[in-house]
């Protein structure tokens, strides 16, 4: 599969801070293109399922050497060393699929302030 630029941008926008801005109704940091990349069914909101599916794909996309874990090199373009260490819950220097999904879903739930499992622009 060819790497898509918009995908990487959307991921960068999500894994880093701007999804917080998005959830708070501040479009700064996330374009409509990025939002629409996640809103697969065009409902105008990003559901928990849409987010999870996107992030499962993101993990595979980021894992360029296909060893089922992310190194700091593989995530250097989207994560600072501090963010990488935060994601590496067991501190083994690699982020595995579970650590990645735990972190991004925790982000989702933190931003879903009204608890309806939907993020709105
Ligand atoms: Ca949707
Ligand atoms: Ca890897
Ligand atoms: Ca780890």
Residues, Cβ < 5 Å to ion ligand 1? 39, 41, 43, 47
pLDDT tens, position by position, 94-115? 999 999 999 889 888 888 889 9
User: Which ligand neighbours the alpha carbon of 71 most closely?
Assistant: 2
User: Which ligand neighbours the alpha carbon of 102 most closely?
Assistant: 3
Residue partners of 56: CB distance under 8 A and separation at least 6: 101
CA distances 103 to 1, 19, 27, 64, 86, Å, are 25, 13, 22, 20, 9
Query: Structure pTM?
Result: 0.74
Pairing, β 69-70 against β 46-47: unpaired
For 5-113, CATH number? 1.10.238
Ligand 3 centroid to residue 53 C-alpha, Å: 21
pLDDT tens, position by position, 28-60? 456 777 788 889 999 999 999 999 998 898 899
User: Which ligand neighbours the alpha carbon of 96 most closely?
Assistant: 3
What are the sequence ranges of the domains in the chain?
5-113
User: Which ligand neighbours the alpha carbon of 119 most closely?
Assistant: 1
């Amino acid at each position: 599969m060819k790497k898509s630029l918009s995908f990487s941008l959307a991921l960068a926008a999500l894994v880093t801070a701007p999804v917080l801005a998005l959830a708070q109704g501040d479009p700064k940091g996330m374009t409509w293109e990025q939002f629409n990349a996640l809103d697969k069914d065009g409902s105008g909101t990003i559901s928990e399922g849409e987010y999870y599916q996107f992030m499962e794909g993101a993990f595979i996309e980021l894992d360029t050497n296909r060893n089922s874990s992310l190194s700091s090199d593989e995530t250097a373009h989207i994560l600072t060393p501090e963010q990488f260490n935060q994601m590496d819950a067991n501190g083994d220097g690699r982020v595995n699929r579970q650590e990645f999904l735990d972190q991004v879903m925790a982000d989702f739930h933190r931003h879903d302030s009204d608890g309806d499992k939907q993020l709105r622009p």
